[in-house]
Amino acid sequence: MRPVIVERRARTGLVQLALIVAVVAGFAATSRGQQPDRDTVRLWKLPHGRLQPMADVDAAGTVHLIYFVGEPTAGDVWYSTRRRDAESFSEPRRVNSQPGSVIAIGTVRGAHLALGAAGRPHVVWMGSDGAAPRGPDGRSPMLYSRLGDGGEFEPQRNVVTQAFGLDGGGTVAADAHGRVSVLWHADAGEGGEERRRVWMAASTNSGSTFAPEVAVSEPGVCGCCGMSATIDRTGTTRALYRGFAPPDHRDMFLLSTDGETFHRGRLESWQLGACPMSTSAISMAGGAGVGDDTATLAWETAGEVAWATVDSRTSAVSTPVRPRTPGGERKHPAIARSADGRVLFVWTEGMSWNQGGTLHWQEYDRQRQPTVLGGSVGDVPAWSRPAALVDGEGRFTIFY
């Protein structure tokens, strides 16, 4: 059995991230004259009370990180960065302009992050009961903010104009050309999961303004499941969401849309008589502005998790890959794909309503075969989820 070396280092500053560097076969790789980075996963454990990390890396190698702090029903989202050559993260800045306006309960309703033109961060979240601005009759908002030119986040805005009825939160995607897509699902006052649809508010000027939202899916969405999205280099927004068809079909779908037309493909079927409160992940190879145009997907079905890739021209999805090791109640997958085609698949086990669990990960080579780089640690707090990326040095990094 090859050695596993775990190094713990205390980080200073307000972020106080504890770095755990797990190196699999590092000594062996060095003795063969190879770069050990390919045999390394860096684990960043957030301090107690910080939940739901979301992270991405820009073209310059800077890591952008958000996380939730506070009561799960009404807290705040904080933002910090680590430059490629830096040893620690920057002083955090609060994203939401109204304190306590972010909801995290249920895990599916936390904040989402996307990097756009010039590496500008865009953040969206479902508003808490006291969040403002609200919709008509006090209905829940889908709130948005972006980092302003002065280095502070702009006042939060509600991007919903008609499609109210949020439940499972929403997501955001952005690209290097100023496109920003905010997506959520809602019944728009019609009632019933069979009438819910995915809606999208789009911006072509880096979030300065958004067009009114349009429906971009067929009716039928699982009410309290999360979403994830990205924008490819053709300008197509791709999103993962869980559908609903009476009486008990809660299948996973990949949605591809330009805001005027849409196509959806079924990834996996699931018959279930209740909402599973599932999450998903979708990312581009190598991070924002890096690598090819391959989108990598991750989702959960019936206590198991899977990942696949998407053909950028045809939207065809590859055969799903699942962990070979036995496990139980796998949820909250995260995914990262390097520019050379390696994939890091991350998930949790044992998590349920208001209950934490353990973190697990497995690397796959370009032939989609598992490598020796895999492992697990505890513990992931209740309401949280992991995030994965390829950092500025080309190493896989997990935040949890």
Secondary structure (3-state) at 26: helix
Looking at the 3D structure of the chain, how many domains does it have?
Answer: 1
Tokens 């505890």, residue located:
378
- For residue range 9-27, list pLDDT tens digits in order: 323 233 334 444 333 333 2
> Over the chain, what is the mean pLDDT?
88
- For residue range 335-358, list pLDDT tens digits in order: 999 988 999 999 999 999 999 999
Rounded to an integer, the average pLDDT of 253-267 is 93
pTM greater than 0.85 (yes/no): yes
Cβ–Cβ < 8 Å for 344, 10: no
**Range(s) of the domain holding residue 47:** 4-399
| Percent of the chain predicted with pLDDT > 70 | 88
Q: Evaluate the omega torsion of the peptide bond into residue 333 and state whether it is cis, within 30 degrees of 0.
A: no
| Tokens found for residue 112 | 């989402």
| Percent of the chain predicted with pLDDT > 90 | 76
245 bridge partner residues: 249
Rounded to an integer, the average pLDDT of 69-77 is 97
Q: Residue 353: which CATH number? A: 2.130.10.10
CA 294 to chain centre: 16
Cα distances from 106 to residues 16, 26, 51, 52, 352, in angstroms, run: 25, 38, 12, 11, 9
**Residue 286 above 60 pLDDT?**
no
